[in-house]
Structure 1
Amino acid sequence: MASYRIRQYRDQDYEAVRTLFTRGILEHAPSVYRNALRSAWAQLGLLVVFLAVRVTVGYWLLGLVALALGLVAIWLLVRNFCTAYVEQALSTDLQDIPAGYLRAPDSGFWVAEAGGTVVGTVAVGQPEDPSERGVALELRRMSVSRDWRGRGVSKALCGEVLRFARARGFGTVVLTTSVVQVVAQRLYEGQGFRKVATFSPSLLATFLGFQLFHYRCDLPGRSAPTAR
């Protein structure tokens, strides 16, 4: 088995990091779609479409066609939902990684490299929630190439963030992951994170039954954080 190493981000990693992130998010689209079909709102919408066409036209076959079109419409919504998230990330913090993570205070960006290829990424920065700033750091942009999953890369990247936070004097690390990222949830919980909140980021997400989970890890040996 080939070895890998964790190192700080370099300028030449730019395209590899963005590509790895994009692929990692878009590959979750089928899981988001399956999750959406379990949503009560989506099921109700499909039922209404089917019954409306069935009653109006009077043919079961056309009702089934309308139902199939509804399923396609939901898939397109899911695909656009995932794509919009990728585009938002690529145009914000992943557009200028050095400015967002290497030169910003209490921030960092690392890659896992194997054979000269970037196979994993992770970042840390100030939390989006103002109430957590100054007392916690936020783990972000965790992504590992499909071929390198199950080899301890994610655990090593997560450990890098926890060590960084501890070295900077922070007693807490937070992160946000989604309902469909079950493997990631298990990884984080295995590293000491616990789920502290659940929310939907938008009305579309609510319709699709898509939820985000906010996790928190209080670092061992640290006292309760105090505001800075």
Structure 2
Amino acid sequence: MASYRIRQYQDKDFDTVRTLFARGMLEHCPAWYRHILRSARVQLQLLVLFVLVRAASGFWLLGLGAVALALVAIWLLVRAYSTAYVRQALSTDLADVRGTYLRSPHSCFWVAEAGGAVVGMVAVEPPEDPAERAVALELKRMSVSREHRGWGISGALCGEVLRFARTRGFGAVVLSTSVVQVAAQRLYENQGFRRVGPASSSLLTSLLCFQIFRYRCDLPGPAAAPPR
């Protein structure tokens, strides 16, 4: 059986968790790109582009070239959006992990360690929605290195968050994940989360067929009101 342990974040983990998060997020770019290209709307738009350029120029090759340029542009947009998201995280909460997650009784940050190396991470804090803050905590920054997936680390990290929330009197844990993170969706559903509310997206992500799903896990049994 694979051996690992989960412990609270330490300052020595700073560079590793930032790298782990960045790699984990950017590796979803190919899946997002494929998701876009499978969209019937995008396929129709590419076909229309080909027909228009072919009709205007009279050359099949120019039509194909226009489609190829569009495919490159879509990839660059996907990569740019993902990189911007990573940079935002690295310049906000992950720029001061201790200050963000370890100075409040209702937040925490854990890492999974195997062979002396940090191979996984997860955080929890009060959600931004004021209506949820009184009853729920939010799971954030879940990531496990590609080489250590299948060890049960993600489930163990998720379980740590659920126990943390329960012992502090909260009745639920919420989280957000993207449409292309299918493995993450399965993990959360196996842990008792259910999808709630409509998928959300911005104008840009709507154009790129990208949606964010909101999940919620109601914790069993009566929960005391969390302290203020």
Q: Taking structure 1 as the reference length, what is the TM-score of the superposition?
A: 0.94
- What SS does the corresponding residue of 2:7 show, helix, strand or coil? strand
Matches within 5 A, 1:84-99: 84-99=84-99
Query: How big is the shift at 1:201?
Result: 2.7
8 Å CA contact 1:29–1:79 kept in 2: the answer is: yes
Q: Equivalent residue for 2:24? A: 24
Shift in CA distance, 214/225, structure 1 to aligned 2, threshold 3 Å: farther
- CA shift at 1:199, angstroms? 2.3
Alignment correspondent of 1:196: 196
Partner of 2:161: 161
Contact 1:112 1:120 (8 Å CA) reproduced: yes
The residue aligned with 1:139 is 139
Instruction: Check whether the contact 2:177–2:184 (CA below 8 A) recurs between aligned residues.
Output: yes
Read off the aligned partner of 1:67 and give its amino acid letter.
V
Cα offset, 1:224, TM superposition: 9.8
Provide the rounded CA distance (Å) in 1 between the counterparts of 2:205 and 2:225. Answer: 33
Matched, 1:73 2:73: yes
Shift in Å at residue 81 of structure 1?
1.2
Change (3 A) 1:188 1:224: farther
Partners of 2:170 and 2:223 within 8 A in 1:
no
Deviation beyond 6 Å, 4+ runs, structure 1: 224-228
What CA distance in whole angstroms lies between the structure 1 residues aligned with 2:224 and 2:9? Answer: 31
Structure 2, unpaired ranges of 5+: none
Task: Compute the RMSD of aligned alpha carbons.
Answer: 1.8
The alignment-based identity, stated in percent, is 70
Cα distance between partner residues in 1 of 2:176 and 2:225: 20
**1: distance between equivalents of 2:46 and 2:39?**
11
- Counterpart position of 1:218: 218
Kindly provide the amino acid, as one letter, of the partner of residue 17 in structure 1: V
User: What is the one-letter code of the residue matched to 1:18?
Assistant: R
Quick check: 2:172–2:216 contact (8 Å CA) kept in 1?
yes
Alpha-carbon contact 1:41-1:208 (below 8 Å) kept: no
The alignment of Structure 1 onto Structure 2 pairs a total of residues equal to: 228
Task: Tell me which amino acid in the other structure corresponds to 1:211.
Answer: Q
2:110 equivalent to 1:110: yes
Paired residue type of 1:162: L
Residues of 1 paired with 2:200 and 2:57: CA distance? Answer: 37
1:205 paired to 2:208? no
1:60, distance to aligned residue in structure 2 (A): 1.1
* CA 125–172 in structure 1, closer or farther in 2 if over 3 Å, else same: same
